[in-house]
Amino acid sequence: MNALDEIDLRILHELQSDGRISNQELADRVGLSPSPCLRRVRRLEQSGVVDKYTAVVDPTAVGLDITAFVRLRLDSHGTGVVERVEEAIREIPEVIEAYLLAGDHDYLLKVAAGSFAAYEELMRTKLRAIPAISSIETTFTISVTKPTSPLPIREGARP
């Protein structure tokens, strides 16, 4: 895809704020007529800049009262080992985000669970079963001070 221009950045900003916005409203907000706006949105989708549309669900509203950040260290970093670890992480539904790290730990996982007992069960049956893990450290959240936010593309992107 060609470089993003200012209109593309405005479209992305609006879509991050409301992914269900109508094309007419989006076009009005970014200063385009509906047809060119829709073409730009489709181009952003087809090029992978817009990856997907999703709903943000309140975890406590669906009984997921525990959020934990889990740091993993591996005892081996061979290609086959790393692939098996990452596949195992992707298979655990309670792991809602996972990052490969540089530094003291190898992975950071964000985990959602219904209770401390459910988290303990997850640790015993799923996390400890992942191959080559040498340590697991967990930090539990108390509250959310800033929920998932749009990317700061308007300020930081270069058209």
Range of the domain at 35: 6-55
Among residues of the chain, what percentage have pLDDT more than 90? 87
Which pair of structure tokens corresponds to residue 129? 């079963």
Do residues 122 and 70 both lie within one domain?
yes
Mean pLDDT of the chain: 94
Residue at 80 is within a domain? yes
Cα–Cα distance for residue pair 96/34, rounded to 1 Å: 36
Residue at 48 is within a domain? yes
Residue 88 pLDDT class (50, 70, 90 cuts): very high
CATH of the domain at 31: 1.10.10.10
Average pLDDT estimate for 54-70: 96
Q: What total number of domains does the chain contain? A: 2
Residue at 49 is within a domain? yes
Do residues 125 and 97 both lie within one domain?
yes
3-state helix/strand/coil string of the chain: CCCCCHHHHHHHHHHHHCCCCCHHHHHHHHCCCHHHHHHHHHHHHHCCCCCCCCCCCCHHHHCCCEEEEEEEEECCCCHHHHHHHHHHHHCCCCEEEEEECCCCCCEEEEEEECCHHHHHHHHHHHHCCCCCEEEEEEEECCCCCCCCCCCCHHHHCCC
Per-residue pLDDT for 155 more than 60? Answer: no
Residue 119 pLDDT class (50, 70, 90 cuts): very high
What confidence score (pLDDT) does residue 154 get?
A: 65
Residue 159 pLDDT class (50, 70, 90 cuts): low
